Structure 1
Amino acid sequence: MNLDFTYQNPTTIYFGKDSLDNLERELENYGDTIMLAYGRSSIKKIGLYDQVISILEESGKKIVELAGIMPNPTYAKVQEGVNLVRENSVDLILAVGGGSVIDCAKGISVSAYCEKDPWKKYWLDFEAVDNKIVPVGSILTLAGTGSEMNGGSVITNDEMKLKMGRVFPAEVNPKFSILNPEYTYSLPEYQMLSGIFDMMSHLMESYFSGKDDVTTDYLIEGLLRSIIHSAKVALKDPKNYEARSNLMWSSTLAMNPLMGLSKTQDWQVHMIEHQLGAYTDCAHGMGLAAVSLPYYRKIYKDGLDKFVRFATQVWGIEEEGKSKEELALAGIDALEAFIRECGIVTNLKDLGATEEMLAKIANSTVILGGYRKLSSEEILDILKTAYDA
């Protein structure tokens, strides 16, 4: 562990079939007014909305609702929530849904009492949070983003065609998160698969960086193997509790800062997908899958040893009779085979992209660089490859 780090995670996790039983006790820690933030109709279909409303009412709370948070939450939706917080002096934002709902809640949390333009201050200029923060709690219904135990908030500005992510300090983390794997049973397969690749991508963005031997890489390899195994089980049996619980907890850990400790990290795949999402509003995990394969095939020689390790330790590919380059490519091929076996999207056309969008996406992508810093032209080549996949 050659890079110094400070690790703090203040989120309390309640995990399991009876985890909602802890909500009433958590509510005792906050004032009278709760903003209930959620998506469209899914939490009502599974009966979770009625359960939460009942607990809030029995706890004597005033309920303010922010409904209709979309899969790629917009800055306009954040502003709608900000107005509700200010008008009602909200004491806690309770986000019930997937990562997009929780991301939106955190965006509202830091923006509600910001005296400057929050979009510019927090998502463009990455300034420190120096204003009052409204606490957030979450009840998770979709495994993928890890937003339930981190400070991340990815928000799309429709007017500017920018999808920007900001990882806020630990004070912005949900104070508590309730994780019941059974809440994920009713998800359409497409959404489940999108979440599965999202969690895998979070791990690979940290993994494919650095040339040292760090404990974090061993943790990532184990989580990837767990996700791969559990994904196949969940596809055959969507109500297999063990598989769905493993996926839910793996997702939480995958985007926890724990999996980036002493790592330089990459995140270029995410930066490309963010702009893809800004133009197409596609499912995040599907966009990541489409971008990942051509991206890794472009940079693997610059991190050859790590790609060899990925092939042998994650996919179990035998080394005998293969060069390092052959092993590295075999690992990427194994990733592609898994993607295709699961039915995860690899073609940008299927995600709503048009040929005319590609240059705009490439030119607006934030360039970070991992093993190698790409040019906008190289990013465009990746997008063209994914478009024709």
Structure 2
Amino acid sequence: MLGNFSYCNPTKLYFGDQSLQYLNTELPKYGQNVVLVYGGGSIKKNGIYDEVIEILKAKGKNVAEIAGVMPNPTLAKLYEGIEIARAHKADLLLAVGGGSVCDYAKAVSVSVNCSDDPWEKYFVRFEEPDCETIPVGCVLTMVGTGSEMNAGSVITNTEKKMKVGHVFSDEKIMPRFSILNPRYTLTLPHYQMVAGIYDIFNHICEQYFSGTDDNTSDYIAEALMKSVVHSSRIANKDSQNYEARSNIMWTATWALNTLIAKGKSTDWMVHMLGQAVGAHTNATHGMTLAAVSLPYYRHILPYGLAKFKRFAINVWGVSADGKTDEAVAEEGLKAMESWMRELGLAMSISELGATEDMIEGIAGATLILKGGYKVLDHGEIVKVLKESL
């Protein structure tokens, strides 16, 4: 394992079907003014809102709300939330929802006491906060992003048609606590469930497909990928299978809490491509990743052949007997494609509303990163996107 690194993750997790009770343990640690952050209202339909409000009132909290956080949180919505949190003099931002709600709460957290424009400061210049941040807690209702245990935040600027993520380096941006009740995920529509499952899987891939050394992180990544594939097949047939859904939820957290990135350069180009597609179509995040993944991986396969061969053998059980390395690696991607189709994932960006005349714009909005096996130029990005249509 090469390189030098430090590792610290301060987020406290409460897991299980009785985990919401631990909100009673956490709330006394913070001041009286709580801002409840949530999405389109599903938590009111399924009863989670009432459960959370009851606990907040029992603890004597003064509650304000930021409702209507969309799946791809916009800059305009961020500005709205900043003003609500400022007016309420928030002591805690409590995000109740999926990854987008958690991402959004972190963006509000670093912006409330900052005089700079948050888009320019955090999503253009990628600076760290130099102001007091507001603590964030999460009650997770949808899995996929891993936002419940990391310092990442993604915001969409609809005017510029840019969707940009910033993974903050300051540990205080991570949620102070996260409550993970797998039962809260059981009411998700199938489309959202499988999109989240692929988001998990691709988070692992983004970290796995980099580096050439013998790295412990890769062994952990392979086990996590196998767990996702196994549990996803059960959940795809029976979405109410608690054991499968709980395993998916736990894997999602470990897929992106920075553990398996240690000692790695990491890639993240699938996310850059997918986020650019999402900025132009407003499509579901996990589906944009699914639609661009295979064309991208087939493009970089020759440059990371040894890892793609290992992926085929260790994750998908491909036999290498009598086959070239290239044949084994390609068979692994075919197995991955078969699994993706089995789940019902989007396999092209045209399914998500992208058209050929959008390609140049999407390519121009795609950030180019250098951690993977091949640094793409603009022409290669256009090629991958066209193969994703």
Q: TM-score range by the shorter chain?
A: over 0.9
Instruction: Tell me the residue number matched to 1:379.
Output: 381
Q: Residues 43-72 of structure 1, C-alpha deviation per residue, up to 9 Å, x if partnerless?
A: 111100000011101110111010000000
Partner of 2:7: 7
Alignment-derived partner of residue 59 in structure 2: 59
Equivalent runs, 1:104-183 vs 2, <5 Å = 104-168=104-168, 169-183=170-184
- Match of 1:236, as an amino acid? K
TM-score by length of 2: 0.99
Aligned to 1:269: 270
**Aligned-residue offset at 1:295:** 0.2
Aligned-residue CA RMSD (Å): 0.7
Report deviation, 1:238: 0.9
- List 4+ stretches of structure 1 deviating above 4 A: none
Tell me the secondary structure at the aligned position of residue 79 of structure 1: helix
Q: Following the alignment from structure 1 to structure 2, what is the Cα–Cα distance between the partners of residues 203 and 105?
A: 24
Report what 1:256 is aligned to: 257
1:144 aligned counterpart, secondary structure = coil
SS at match of 1:159: coil
Letter paired with 2:259:
L
Aligned equivalents of 1:103 and 1:159: distance in 2?
Answer: 20
Cα deviation code 1:192-225 (max 9, x no counterpart): 0000000111000010001111000000000000
Counterpart check, 1:351 vs 2:320? no
For each residue in 1:277-306, what CA deviation from the matched residue of structure 2 results, as whole angstroms up to 9, or x when unmatched?
100001111110111100000000100000
Q: Which amino acid aligns with 2:263?
A: S
Shift of 1:123: 1.0
Deviations 1:3-28 (A, max 9, x none): 11111100000000100000012000
- Aligned match of 2:334: 333
Alignment of 1:191-210 (within 5 A): 191-210=192-211
Report how far residue 128 of structure 1 moved: 2.0
SS of 2:29 mapped into structure 1? coil
Q: Helix, strand or coil: the match of 2:356?
A: coil
State the identity as a percent: 53
What amino acid maps onto 1:166 in structure 2?
A: H
Residue 293 of structure 1 is matched in structure 2 by 294
Give SS of 1:227's match: helix
AA of the residue aligned to 1:148: E
Q: What is the Cα deviation at residue 273 of structure 1?
A: 0.8
| Residue of structure 2 in register with 1:97 after alignment | 97
Q: Tell me by how many angstroms 1:183 deviates.
A: 0.3
Q: What stretches of structure 1 of length at least 5 have no aligned partner?
A: none
- TM-score if structure 1 supplies the norm length? 0.99
User: Mapping of 1:280-319 within 5 angstroms?
Assistant: 280-319=281-320
SS at 1:35 equivalent? strand
Letter in 1 for 2:154: V
* Partner residue, 1:70: 70
Q: Which residue of 1 aligns with 2:23?
A: 23
In structure 2, how many angstroms separate the alpha carbons of the residues matched to 1:156 and 1:71? 10
Q: Distance in 1 between matches of 2:154 and 2:205?
A: 19
Task: Give the equivalent residue in structure 1 for 2:236.
Answer: 235
SS, match of residue 244 in structure 1: helix
CA distance in 1, matches of 2:25, 2:343: 40
| SS of residue paired to 1:356 | helix
Q: Which amino acid aligns with 1:268?
A: M
